[in-house]
Amino acid sequence: MYIDAHNHLDFYNDNIDRAIKDINENKIITLANSMDINSYNLNKKYSKKSKFIIPTFGIHPNSVGSFKGKLKELIPYIEESKLIGEIGLDFLWVEDRTLDEKQREIYYFILEESAKRNKYISIHTKNAEEEVYNSLKKLEYNKVIIHWYSGPLEILEKFIELGCYFTISVDIGYSNLTEKILMKIPIDKLLVETDGPTALEWVSGEYGYPSEIKNVVKKIAHIKKISEEELINIIYDNFNRILN
Ligand SMILES: [Zn+2]
């Protein structure tokens, strides 16, 4: 059984039926990360069409500008969602620096409320690796999936020491940095992801369906010099530790 530990099903728009069919046919357990409340509701709807889809609530750093509610209104969603994601900080792709404080306000709130409830959290760290690390270290919290890490290797070491999980994404085989990161991640903390249709598009120009996860696994198995079957089992075990 394949695991896609970070996807964005609401990015598929008109192609969603084909994406869900792909998930069902290939038996890909999928964490459907959310951008905001609407996106979470959509992911919940999609999860009714597949036993492999697990919707997760979060407010993505890209979406903090459009969140106009009060933070405490997020609590029922945090409570309801089995895992949390996507949350995080992004000081690169989010270009509006006037939103930095709002990013922090929402990130720290959801992080702390999720940690209180012992939930696993998918975290985005773009150009904010050190701050995210410090936020976790302060709470001594490691029920965390660091999503598509691409920051400095020294900070990666600190996340590893803390005991976090990590996803390798669709740029494996294209990025030397991702390969170096892969080789540092302990095998019992390794997960894989596709990050929605646009991530592969960004990497190679191709539109990414969920079964792209097979290529990610194939490339990692080749680099790590283990069989695909063995790798699939390792990732499945890692993910089950998170779920249970
Ligand atoms: Zn994402």
**What does the DSSP assignment read for 63-117?**
GGGG--S-GGGGHHHHHH-SSEEEEE--SSS---GGGHHHHHHHHHHHHHHHHHT
pLDDT reported for residue 146: 98
Å from CA of 8 to ligand 1 middle: 6
Å from CA of 24 to ligand 1 middle: 21
Task: Give the residues across from 168 on adjacent strands.
Answer: 192
pLDDT reported for residue 176: 97
pLDDT reported for residue 189: 98
Q: How far apart are CA 77 and CA 123, in angstroms?
A: 17
Q: How far apart are CA 64 and CA 128, in angstroms?
A: 16
pLDDT reported for residue 166: 98
Domain 2-198+212-243 has CATH 3.20.20.140: yes
pLDDT reported for residue 71: 98
Å from CA of 226 to ligand 1 middle: 28
Mean pLDDT, residues 177-191 taken together = 98
pLDDT reported for residue 141: 98
pLDDT reported for residue 148: 97
Structure tokens at 96: 């509006």
pLDDT band at 239 (very low <50, low <70, confident <90, very high): very high
pLDDT reported for residue 57: 98
What residue type is assigned to position 62 of the chain? N
pLDDT reported for residue 112: 98
pLDDT reported for residue 76: 98
Å from CA of 12 to ligand 1 middle: 13
Which positions ≥6 away from 170 have C-beta within 8 Å?
193, 194, 195, 199, 200, 203, 204, 208, 212, 215, 216
Mean pLDDT, residues 73-81 taken together = 98
Å from CA of 238 to ligand 1 middle: 20
Å from CA of 147 to ligand 1 middle: 7
